[in-house]
Structures are given as structure tokens and as C-alpha cells.
Chains A and B, each alone.
Chain A
Amino acid sequence: MSDQLGLLTQLIELFTSSVSYGERLDNFVHLLARNLNFDLALFFVLEKEKQRLLLNTSSQGPVSPSMLIVFPLGRGLVGQTAQTREHLIAYRDDPEIFPANRPLETIYPDFQTLASFAVADDNFLYGVLLLVDQKRRKLDTATLKLIKLACLMLAGTIRQALRHDETKKRIAELSGLFEIGKAISSTMELDALLERILSTAAKVINARGAILRIIDEQTGLPRVASEYGDVFETSACLLTSKLETAVVSGELPFVTTSLPDLQGHLHSYLGVPLNFKGHLKGMLCVFDKMSEALEFQEFDAENRQLLFTMAGMISSSIENALTFQELEALAEKNERMVRVLTVLQEISWALMTTVRMEKILDIILNALTLESGLAYDRAVVLLVNENRHVLKAVKGVFRKTSPPTLPLREALMVPVEVRAESAMEKLLPRLQIPLQEDKGILARTVLQKKTFHIVQAEQDSRVNQELRQAYDLQEFVSVPLIVKDQVTGVIVVDNQRSKRAIRDNDVQILNMFANQAVLAIENSRLYSTIEANNRELSLIRERMLESDRLAALSGLAQGMAHEIRNPLTSIGGFARRISKKVGKNSPLRHDVEVITQEVERLEKLLREVLDFSGVNLGYYEEHDFNQIIEDALTLIERDLMASNIKIAKDFALLPNVHCDDRQIKQVFYNLFQNARQAMDKGGTLTIRTYPVEKSDGLYAAAAVSDTGGGIPLELLHNIFNPFFTTKEFGTGLGLSIAERIVSRHYGQIEIINELGKGVTFIVTLPIAKYCLIKTAEDQEAQP
């Protein structure tokens, strides 16, 4: 009895001690075996699946793998006890017992007595205690009670231990989840977040590494891929494909699989789905679960559960991070856009400061090439010439100017110097592209009214290969300048030196820029047209005023002519009569001749100043140029013949000129008069007419040549000055009047002086239909 009490005391001491569960079990079997005087005490533990009982602890020492004894439920004494929960005692000689219990021979060949006791509490069976002895033993009731009590205590301690384990696991799980929770709230930055999530998940599960994949549902491609630990490429690929199919089919409770690495070692994987409330789906996967002793372990249901829970927690935070990333990208894009818009605004401002084409072109080229602008390496502006149906290069920048120290606004206004250093720069002014589809991208840009972004010029059949070689074109953009649905020009840019790729966004910006540029160009054109028209109008106004003045003046002079001419006629007439009547030797003769000559001079003055330039100013009509010259010639023919001057005419067939025929008649009369006076000893007057094409239209020309020996050089610059004359009898007004009349007709009068030969005056007058149609555009076309 005292023995039993001693055992009980020892058992209580054992179960209340602080030693571990395994140690308690060891001590328990040891105590029982020693105190009850049994050779051996064994504890069989019931597996989790509750189908088999495994030898767990022996009073003889540690249980090695070779000592593995298993009893299925219901088999052998241990199995029966487990099933019935009743204690059983059996002997070796019992024929019904021995075969089933034979496995025990492996550890104790000479067993005679076997006594098994269920280790269970009210609810659960935890295992079976088996006492073994080589003697035939009987157990009295008190001993049986004691053993049952001991088993009950053991069950209690096992339950406690299991609960303890469970609690520890829960705590581990919770702290794992806490770690995950900490991880997901630690950062909004996606990469950092994923790294922390994966490392924490792997640590919590005791896995060697973790993989995370998120599939973009729309494209079906991995959108996010993050890894922790050593991931084998093949495994990652396999996982991804497995994941994709699973995600697409919508069935992915979990994936546990084993995949070999390159060395043939098997690795186990556990994957759970990540479901987002949006359209994203993915998978979180851990691999290579390791025990504390660094042994590979299988993932179990608890691991799965934990991973599920974690997946639920992280998915929303990943989604948040993704949204945050998108927002950040959007913000960045916005910021870029704002910068671009600011640049465009600056450019727009600069373009508004001027209407001068040259300045606008400079601003455009600066805007395209400045580092603080659109920063292209090269830029060329070409404009369409409607008349010739070609695209013509106007100006280009082929190298970056020095880094801008000026603010963009000011840098834009710096004049662009055209330096013809390289062959390309020298070629540029002559670059003309006929507007035909097969003449390359630039012609197409005009004809199709759209932007071309050529990435590989060499491989593109649409590119004009000659041009490509001449200008070393690779990637380039050709943007049309469109106003009122008309292409007025093309901007071409590239990054020939830096080879910086041109993005779609850049092309968009270029198009926006082109819209601004073309408005400025158009403004400038309109302005210069208006300016030219204004000039034209004020010129016409000036001339009309002058005409009015002259008309008024001549009206006055006309009245005076009548008044003066009558008395002059009688004074002169009578003087001549006197001269005839007085004898040749009369002393009066000389006096009378002075009167005659002076009157003649006055009459001539009247003729020259008044007879032609006076009335009929401004009767501009279409006239036959040749006929006017003929008419003028008739007026002086008699004088010419008298001076022994031959006339040579060579008239071409000409369109009508727009003029006041009387004034032009005077021009030629004056020129003929001038020629006659130059050839006082006779000669030849040559008159030739012919058409002339000038930049601003078609002209009729008449060349009047004399053989009078030319004008001395020192006098030449004076000949069109009024009142300059070399003649004894001359007003000096003839050529001056002629010059004024011709310029009033938008014509020109030129002089070709050949000393020793003669003088040729060339008068050009605009052909009627070209007259006054001098638009600004024409002037622009021929700067």
C-alpha cells in the first residue's frame, strides 16, 4: 500500500513538474515499470487520423526508428484497448492473443504478460499504455485502479500538452498574421510592400521562400511578379502557367505540388489564390517548408489555412498599393504634362511677340531644339509652294546650340544662325521635294495631311532613301502644318546624335506644337499680305494725290498757256515780219532776231512743260504699246529727217499695257527728242520692243538707242534730274518728266551708256493683266 502511495506521490510530482511533455511521458513509463515491477512499460500514441497506434515511448529508453511498432485500431491488445477503452490482460500462451501481438517480439521477445490500458479522458483517446513482463503476472484490483488513475493523469497531461501546443500554434499563427498586418501597413510602395509580405509569409509558414503573381485579367499576362528566397526559374514558370489556368477557370482552392529543380531535388509548393474585389487575380505561394532541424517537411492543413488568411489580408493592401502606384504614375504623368504645357505656353507666348516670318521660324526651330524646349537634336521647317507644287526647305537647325543659360522665353527669341558647315547644311537651301506620293514621307505628310513617325527609315519603303542617306535619317517625325485644312508646310525632327527614342507622347506634343506654329506662320502671312496691301494702297493714294496736284496745277497752267501763247504768237510773229522787212545789214536786224529767238524759247518751254504733262492725267487704259511709240514717232519724224537721222524699228508682238497713252507718248517723244539732240550730225535711231519677264510679272519693254556717242560719265548721274541740260536750247525737263511718268506707271526706265557709241534707254511697263496684282505672296515667294 505504501508502495502504491509512493507511486502516486511520484506521479503527482511528475505531472505537476515543469518538465516538457515528452520528458513527462518518458518518466511516466519509467515510473510505472519500476514501481509496478514490470519489465517494460510502453506508450502507444493514437495517430491524428485515429486509425493506427504507434509506439511512442518506452521505459527502456529512446524509441529508434527500427523499433517502430504499429497496431491498427482493433488489432492486438493495444488496438483492442484503444477500441474498447477497456483494460486487457493477456498471456503469451493464449493462442488467440499471440499472433496479433507478435510485433512486440521485435523489442521484447520473451514477453509473457501483456497488460494494456487506455489513456483517455471523457472525450478523447490519446493512446494506450502497455505493460510487459516475462513472468506470468496477475494484477490485483488496487493495482489496476492505480494504473487506471495513472493513465487518467497521463491523459490529462497529454490533453494539456496538446492544448498547449494548439495555443502555441495559435499564438504563432496570430503573431504571423500580426507580422503580415504590420508588413501591409508599413508602406504604400508596391515593391517594398511585396518584399515584406513575402518574407513575412515565408517566415511564418517556415518556408524557405515565397512567390507572388498577379495576373492582369484583361491581358492575361502577369502584372506583378515578386519573389523571396531562391526561386527556380522552371518552378516559377510552371507555377505561373498553373496559376493562369486556375485563375481563368476560377477554381483555385489551393495548390500543393512538388516540382523538381535542375538538380532533381524535389521541392514542395503551397499556393493560395489572391482575389481582389476589382479585376485582379493572383496567387501567393510558399515553398520548401523546413523543420527547425532544417529538414524538408510537407505543408499541412494548418499551413494552408494560415496562408489563406494571409492572402485575404494582403490582397486588399496590394490592391491599394497598386492603386497608389497607378495614382503616382498618373500624378507623374500629369506633372510631365504640366511641364510640357508650360513649355508650349512659353513657345506660344514667344510666337505671339512677332509677326515677322523670319523671327517666327527662329522661334519654331529654337522651340524644337532647345534642351528646355522640346529638345530634339535636329529640326527643319519646310513650306509648301503652291505655284510650283513643291515642298521647299526654309530653315533648319542641325546642331544643338550651347546649353541654355537663359530662361526659355528669352532663349526662344535668340536668332538662329544658319551655319553651312556640314554637307547637309549646305544642301538644305536647295532641298525641294515635288508633292507626289512616291517622293517620300515629307511629300506624303503634305498630301495625306497627317503626321508620320518613322522608326527605322532604312527599312521603310515609304522613305525617300536618297534623302535618308543625305541627311542620315533613322528615326524621325514629320508633322504637317495645317491651317484651314490646307497643309502649308512640314516640320521634321529627329535625334540623330543622341539616338533618343521618340515616344508616342512626344509625337502628340509635336502635333500640339505644330498647331501653334502654323497659326503663327499664318498670322505672319496674313499680316504681310495686309502690310503689302497697305503699302500698295498708300502708294496709290500718294500717286492719286500727286495726280490731283498736278491736275490742278496743269489746269492753272493751261489757262495761262492760252493767255501767254496769244501775245507770244503776235510778238514773235511781228518780230519775224520786222526781221524780214529790215535789210540784212540794218542795225535793227540783230535786235529783232533776239526778240524772235527769245519768243521761240518761251514757246518751246510752253510746249515741253504744258503740252504733254498737263491734262488727261490718270486716264489709265489698256493700250497697244507699239502703237503709242509709233504715234510719238510721227510727232517727231519730220525733225528727225531734217536732222538726217535714220529710223530702225524692230517691234515685237506684245500684249496691251496699262497706261495713260498720252503720257507714255510724251515719254517716247522726249526720248526721241533727246536722241535727236544727241545726234545733231545725223545717225540712226533704233527702236526695239520686246516682252520681259520679271519676278513680279510680265512687262513690255522698248529700247531706244541713238548713235550720239554716249553721255560723259561725269554727267551720267544727273540726266534724270530736272532742269539739268547740256544743250544750249533745252529746258532740262525732258528726261526728268519721262522718268516720273514711267515710275508713275509702275514701270522702269534704265539707261545703257556706251561711250563712243551711244545711249540706249530701256522703258519697261507692266503688261495690263499683271499690273497692280502684286500680292504679298508673290513678293514672299521671291525674297
Chain B
Amino acid sequence: MKKILVADDEMSIRLLYSEELKDEGYEVLTAADGREALDIVEKTPLDLVILDIKMPEMSGIEVLRQIKEKNPNLPVLLSSAYSEYKQDFGTWASEEYLVKSSDLEDLKAAVKRHLKD
């Protein structure tokens, strides 16, 4: 079973994403801030990370940088309430940038694409 980490400071988002992804048949871990996310990335072998850009303790961009430093092959999807940073995700070396939406079809399609199954 593929392991996905959902890192978001909003509890409701963490809950929504993990429920939805679990329904899709993934194992989902969650982190409420950047530091926690990095801990999990270090300790647990993961298949994909969904990362909020704006989080307390450590911003998602910094988390992304450190993840990619340690594990460049781990796909990271950025999920944000901000649409204006969308064109910058390439320079941040993430796999995809998704504007948060109640319609999770785009998110699930992206997850599927990057897990290559």
C-alpha cells in the first residue's frame, strides 16, 4: 500500500485529504506543521507528500527544499489557498501545484499520476 504524507496546519484539510485518500486505498499519515512533516519524512519511507505552502514553524517551501535535499525522488505536490504562486512551483522543484478546491478530483488525479500506478 502506497504511503502518503499530508502536511497542513488546517485540521479540517488534513482530515478531508486523509479520508478521501484512504478511500482511494492509500495509507495516509498527517503532519500539522513543517517540522513534524520533516520528522515523518526522515523516519518513514513515503511514496508521496502533499504539502501546504503556508504553515507555522516552517514554511512549506522550506520543508520542500529539505525534503528534496534528502530525498530528491520523493514526489511532492504543493497544495495552497494561493493561486498566484502557481507558476513558481517548477523553480521550487515540486511536482505539481494545486490550488485548494472542494472538488478533489484534480488532487486525486495528480496523486495517481505521480505514484505511477
Please give the residue numbers on chain A whose beta carbons come within 8 Å of chain B beta carbons, in ascending order: 558, 561-563, 565-577, 596, 599-600, 603, 607, 610-611, 614-616
Q: A569-B16, A570-B10, A573-B20 given as contacts; is B101 within 8 A of A603 (CB)? A: yes
- Name the distance in Å between A601's Cβ and chain B's nearest Cβ: 11
Encode contact with A along B80-109: 1 for CB under 8 Å, 0 otherwise.
Answer: 011110000000000000011111100000
For B13, B16, B81, B103, the residue with the greatest tally of chain A CB atoms inside 10 Å of its CB is: B81
Please state if A577 and B54 are interface contacts (CB–CB under 8 Å): no
Q: How many residues of B contact A (CB 8 A)?
A: 18
Report B-chain residues with C-beta under 8 Å of the C-beta of A576.
102-104
Q: Which residues of B contact A607 (CB under 8 A)?
A: 83
Nearest-neighbour CB distance to chain B for A666, whole angstroms, equals 12
Q: Is the CB of A558 within 8 A of B84?
A: yes
Contact partner of B100 (CB less than 8 A), chosen from A558, A566, A577, A600, is A566
Interface of B is mostly: loop
Contact A566 B103 (CB under 8 A): no
Q: Which of B15, B16, B101, B102: most chain A Cβ within 10 A?
A: B102
Closest B residue to A596 using CB positions: B102
Q: Shortest Cβ distance from A660 into chain B, in angstroms?
A: 13
A573's partner among B54, B83, B84, B102 (CB-CB below 8 A) is B102
Given A562-B54, A574-B16, A577-B20, the answer on whether A569 and B84 have CB atoms closer than 8 Å is no
The residue on A at minimum CB distance from B9 is: A566
Contacts of A574 in B (CB 8 A): 12, 16
The CA of A568 and the CA of B104, in the complex, are separated in Å by 12
CB within 8 Å of A: which B13-44 residues: 13, 15-16, 19-20
CB-CB < 8 A to B81: which residues of A?
A: 561-563, 565-566, 569
**Of B15, B82, B99, B102, which one neighbours A572 at CB under 8 angstroms?**
B102
Q: Are A570 and B103 in contact (CB under 8 A)?
A: no
Q: Are A558 and B82 in contact (CB under 8 A)?
A: yes
Contact of A577 among B13, B19, B84 (CB under 8 A): B19
Q: Is the CB of B83 within 8 A of A600?
A: no
Q: What are 28 A-B pairs with beta-carbon distances under 8 A?
A: A561-B81, A562-B54, A562-B81, A562-B82, A567-B10, A569-B100, A569-B102, A570-B10, A570-B12, A570-B15, A570-B16, A571-B102, A572-B101, A572-B102, A573-B16, A573-B20, A573-B104, A574-B16, A575-B102, A576-B102, A576-B103, A577-B16, A577-B20, A603-B101, A607-B83, A611-B99, A614-B84, A616-B84
CA distance A571 to B15 in the complex (A): 11
A-B CB proximity, top 9 nearest: A572-B102, A570-B12, A565-B81, A562-B81, A573-B16, A611-B83, A569-B100, A566-B10, A573-B102
Contacts of A569 in B (CB 8 A): 13, 16, 81, 100-102
Q: Is the CB of B102 within 8 A of A566?
A: no
Q: Are B103 and A600 closer than 8 Å at their CB atoms?
A: yes
The prevalent SS among residues of A at the interface is helix
Instruction: Give Cα A774 to B96, complex, Å.
Output: 44
Q: Give the contacting residue for A566; candidates B13, B83, B84, B104; CB below 8 A.
A: B13
- Minimum distance in angstroms from A456 CB to a CB of chain B: 78
What is the number of contacts between chain A and chain B, taking CB atoms within 8 Å? 63
Nearest neighbor of A568 in chain B, beta-carbon distance: B102
Which of A567, A596, A610 is B12 in contact with, Cβ under 8 Å? A567
Partner of A599, one of B12, B13, B19, B102: B102
A569-B81, A569-B100, A616-B84 known; 10 new pairs, CB 8 Å cut-off, are A562-B54, A570-B13, A570-B102, A571-B102, A572-B101, A572-B103, A574-B12, A600-B103, A611-B99, A615-B84
- The interface residues of chain A lying within 8 Å CB-to-CB of B102 are 568-573, 575-576, 596, 599-600, 603
> How far, in angstroms, from A4 to B104 measured CA to CA in the complex?
186
Chain A contacts of B99 at CB under 8 A?
565, 611
CA distance A561 to B54 in the complex (A): 13
Contacts of B10 in A (CB 8 A): 566-567, 570
Q: Are A561 and B19 in contact (CB under 8 A)?
A: no
From A569, A570, A599, A607, name the one whose CB has the most chain B CB atoms within 10 angstroms.
Answer: A569
Most buried by B among A570, A574, A616: A570
Known contacts: A562-B54, A572-B103. The answer to whether A611 contacts B84 by CB under 8 A is: yes
Which residues on A sit within 8 Å (CB–CB) of B16?
A: 569-570, 573-574, 577
- Which residues from chain A contact B104 at a C-beta distance below 8 Å? 573, 576
B108 to chain A, nearest CB (A): 11
- A-chain residues with CB within 8 Å of residue B20 when the two chains form the complex: 573, 577
Which residues does chain B contribute within 8 Å of A614, judged by CB atoms? 84
* Minimum CB distance partner of A602 in chain B: B102
Question: Once bound together, how far apart are the Cα atoms of A565 and B100, in whole Å?
Answer: 7
Chain A residues within an 8 Å CB radius of B15: 570
Q: Which residue of B lies closest to A599 (CB)?
A: B102
Q: For A611, what are the chain B residues with a Cβ–Cβ distance below 8 Å?
A: 83-84, 99
Q: Give CA–CA (A558, B83) in the complex, Å.
A: 9
Chain A residues with CB under 8 A of B84: 558, 611, 614-616
Q: How far is the CA of A573 from the CA of B81 in the complex (A)?
A: 14
Residues of B within 8 A of A566 (CB): 10, 12-13, 81, 100
Chain B residues whose CB sits within 8 angstroms of the CB of A599 once the complex forms: 102
B103, A561: Cβ atoms under 8 Å?
no
| Most chain B beta carbons < 10 A, residue from A568, A573, A596, A615 | A573
CA distance A615 to B100 in the complex (A): 18
Q: Give complex CA distance A600, B84 in Å.
A: 20
Asked if residues B83 and A610 are in contact (CB atoms below 8 Å), the reply is yes
Q: Which residues on A sit within 8 Å (CB–CB) of B83? A: 561, 607, 610-611
State A561–B102 Cα separation when bound (angstroms): 14
Closest to B23 in A: A577
In the assembled complex, the Cα of A566 lies from the Cα of B81 at a distance in Å of 6
A576–B54 Cα distance when bound, in Å, is: 25
Q: Inside 8 A of A570's CB, which chain B residues have their CB? A: 10, 12-13, 15-16, 102
> B86: shortest Cβ distance to chain A, in Å?
9
In Å, the complex CA distance between A176 and B101 comes to 134
A21 CB to nearest B CB, Å: 144
Bound: A110/B102 CA distance, A: 183
The complex places the Cα of A574 from the Cα of B15 at a distance, in Å, of: 9
CB distance from B10 to the nearest CB of A (A): 5
A624: min CB distance to chain B, Å: 16
Which B residues are in CB contact (< 8 Å) with A558? 82, 84
A756 CB to nearest B CB, Å: 36
CA gap between A563 and B82 in the complex, in Å? 10
- List residues of chain B with CB within 8 A of the CB of A616: 84
| A595 to B, closest residue via Cβ | B102
* Nearest opposing residue in chain B for A612, CB measure: B83
How many whole Å from B15's CB to the nearest CB in chain A?
A: 7
A203 to B108 Cα, complex, angstroms: 141
Q: A637 CA to B35 CA in the complex, in Å?
A: 39
Q: How far is the CA of A42 from the CA of B12 in the complex (A)?
A: 178
Q: Say how far A96's CB is from chain B's closest CB, in angstroms.
A: 165
A573 to B107, CA, bound (A): 12
A563: chain B residues within 8 A (beta carbon): 81
- Residue among B19, B99, B101, B104 with the highest chain A CB neighbour number at 10 A: B101
Q: CA A599 – CA B84 in complex, angstroms?
A: 21
